[in-house]
Amino acid sequence: MIPFNLPPHTGNEEKFVLEAMNSDKISGDGKFGRMCQAWFEQRIGCAKALLTPSCTQALEMAAILIDTQPGDEVIMPSYTFVSTANAFVLRGAKIVFVDIRPDTMNINEQLIEAAITPKTKAIVPVHYAGVGCEMSVIMDIAERHELFVIEDAAQGMMSSYRGKALGSFGHMATYSFHETKNFTSGGEGGLLLINDERFIHRAEIIREKGTNRCQFFRGAVDKYSWVDLGSSYLPSELQSAYLWGQLELADEITLNRLEAWNLYRDAFADLASKRYIVLPSIPDNCKHNGHMFYLKCKDLDERAKLLTHLKQNNILAVFHYVPLHSAPAGKKFGRFHGEDEYTTYESQRLARLPLWYGIEAAVRQQVIDHVIEFYS
Ligand SMILES: *Cc1c(COP(=O)(O)O)cnc(C)c1O
């Protein structure tokens, strides 16, 4: 069976993980943790980068940092992973879902303003498939209405919008290093990017169980104590060491994925021009990272048949994101603002094809052949 995904692996992870294991500090914020964070701060130009055990937890930290309160409203697309919403629901917020654009599957920036009420606290754009949302428009809306913007850039590392890295636009942003993403810190992991430096001090406290331990280690206070609410949001050094083995090759990994992505696109250009399928579209002002290759079938029924056909030929292709507003918890904790013109329809016809760092040409060709065979 051709898998849908294989975790990225460069071969450098082992030596760094061993080095971390043999050092005398394997808890968070050791040598490798600090090296990774400095890499992101330099590369993205953010004020602070803090590694977390998952993107889910980075989102939870962001929800705490903007002081989300019961009754607040948070605007986001319904076509996203549950963690985008859960982080804010955990703090008592109501989720307001807005329709997506069919071309990128990202939140439709033109529909955000109408969904704002006096209770709105934040906008959470999700950069689907590592393709940037219209951040200029979104940041302008947020500024005029005094709202926070948290970018869910779980899939967006190494992508850019108007020449700037995804994750560098909002007050804060999050990356994921889960094994299904372009980079992994050993299966699970995440990052909180802070662009608005007002949040740095409190973020360090929340991440250290609500203590000022971080200042203590820097020698800024002579003992540390419980100063705010918090939790345990530090990954172990083993996770950071694993990630370091991939950051060194970040450009190579991205180029490799993009090459596979472009070959898929070229191979299916004919099917798309005959209008059997729709291919992903990348806006001119975006550079993506080859995170995901999807195609859109005619409808739900045709997608089911395509996925079955691929499975019968030992290829695992998948779909995802049953829109959150139609899920039981989504109905309870959120509401859809405006018309669901594209969210449900487009999500029901999207199929994701196998793609990973180092995918072999023969494997890719098998996938291409069986998709073309299905449509002929
Ligand atoms: C993967 C993903 C997450 C969650 O990431 P974890 O690191 O698994 O917690 C959140 N949002 C989006 C859009 C994702 O794709």
Instruction: Average the pLDDT over 227-238 and give the result.
Output: 96
Band (222; pLDDT cuts 50, 70, 90): confident
* pLDDT > 90? residue 262: yes
Cα 178 to ligand 1 centre (Å): 7
Question: Residue 163, Cβ neighbours under 10 Å: how many?
Answer: 7
CB of residue 286 inside a 6 A radius of ligand 1: no
Cα 219 to ligand 1 centre (Å): 35
Cα 271 to ligand 1 centre (Å): 31
Cα 291 to ligand 1 centre (Å): 13
Identity of residue 11: G
Number of the ligand 1 atom closest to the C-alpha atom of 80: 13
DSSP conformation letters of 148-197 = EEEEE-TT-TT-EETTEETTSSSSEEEEE--TTSSS-SSS--EEEEE-SG
Per-residue pLDDT at 371 = 98
CB of residue 152 inside a 6 A radius of ligand 1: yes
CB of residue 178 inside a 6 A radius of ligand 1: yes
Mutate to test the pocket of ligand 1, among 176, 318, 350 (most ligand atoms within 8 A of CB): 176
User: pLDDT tens digits for 113-165?
Assistant: 999 999 999 999 999 999 999 999 999 999 999 999 999 999 999 999 999 99
Distance CA 29, CA 209 (A): 14
Distance CA 227, CA 23 (A): 31
Q: Which domains does the chain have, with CATH numbers?
A: 13-247 (3.40.640.10), 250-375 (3.90.1150.10)
Cα 44 to ligand 1 centre (Å): 20
Number of the ligand 1 atom closest to the C-alpha atom of 57: 9
Q: What residue has token string 């071969």?
A: 11
CB of residue 84 inside a 6 A radius of ligand 1: yes
User: pLDDT tens digits for 305-353?
Assistant: 999 999 999 999 999 899 999 999 999 999 999 999 999 999 999 999 9
